[in-house]
Structure 1
Amino acid sequence: MASRGVVGIFLFSALPLLCLELRRGIPDLGVKDLILLCGRIFLLLAFLTLIISVTTSWLNSFKSSQVYLKEEEEKNEKRQKLVRKKQQEAQGEKVSRYIENVLKPHQEMKLRKLEERFYQMTGETWKLSNGHKLGVLDLPEEPPETADEVVAVALRCPSGRVLKRRFFKSCSSQVLFHWMMKIGYHISLYSLSTSFPRRPLEVEEGWSLQDIGITMDTVLNVEEKDQSN
């Protein structure tokens, strides 16, 4: 299609020259004149062909360069988007690591200190331990006041609370420690001691309350153990 258009343009451009030559040479037009006229026309066509070919080639190369530049711009834009995405992901990972490794431990430490201060004020520092398996601590049913062989025991806690409960004298002495743990004071952190004289409560497996000397209403102190040892 392009070559046909070029030939048409050539012929259309040569017609004026042909008409001019024919008008000037019609009276004495000979064979030599026709040959010269045809030579001029072919030279003109060749010159026009060269100009159009060069122009077309330049236009095509210009279009190709424009297309190439556009493709390169699109590629660069895609690469930039990919680089920005990777940078954002890397930044997000840094933020996550900072939160997980720095900010979160700092907040936990700050909260831990606040908890320590609070429980030290309330006398419940046992809650700051890593935890202990208490199992199922079953306390015997509290007997009525009118029952025989009953003793009332009071626990004076570090927070200042005083808790009272009744037991049969025949109950195992271990029930006192079960009761202490039941109210939140673990035996690994706290101990029981008598009020007067003040001494640690001695308990052995198989001993009853009566065996350890609790035969009347008694007040026991819940004391925090020395953790430095």
Structure 2
Amino acid sequence: MASRGVVGIFFLSAIPLLCLELRRGIPDIGIKDFILLCGRIFLLLALLTLIISVTTSWFNAFKSSQVYLKEEEEKNEKRQKLVRKKQQEAQGEKGDEDSVLECASQTSSEASNREAAKRQNLPKPLTGVPPPAAQPAWKEVFDLPEEPSETAKEVVTVALRCPSGRVLRRRFFKSCSSQVLLDWMMRLGYQTSLYSLSTSFPRRPLAVAGGLSLGDVGITVDTVLNVEEKEQSN
């Protein structure tokens, strides 16, 4: 439509020039000269039309490419928002699941501690928040070393089989202190005064000491340990 309008404007502007030439050359103009003049005008109009058509096509193509790029950017932004939303939902679900498992583990361990205390005639373990003076000891128990990656070297996987039947697994470096196993057991809610660790096969108590590493106490390969209630003392 724009090219047609421009061609029409040029054509209308060429008519006065044609009339002026005809008026000047009426005495001498012939049919041949008139045909040549009309041919020049139409050639000029054809050239202008070609230029306008090419320019219009290029402009439309450029505009279409801009629109396409803008649509692609909007689609990419929507995809990124959707991916971020899914990741946030997945992280939220994982956090909720971990919270549920943590609560369930603490509840079952507290119940096991109460039963073990009753059987051994020991006072019930405290389930509330410890006093401020005891906070450093609890914090030390709950601070476990960072779990190494699956591709790290000199790493063993230790599984704890709890009295409730749950089996929890975690990776440790062989050079870690064996005391970390008791810290892990305490973190799960099983107090060292009521429970101990033993190997599965052959069944024997695990000798844990702060100066010994996991490799020193015999944990050099993936191992399953049992959380067992201590025998009553007379």
Larger radius of gyration, structure 1 or 2?
1
TM-score range, shorter chain: 0.3 to 0.5
User: Whose RCO is larger (CA < 8 A, sep 6+)?
Assistant: 2
TM-score after normalising by structure 1: 0.45
TM-score after normalising by structure 2: 0.44
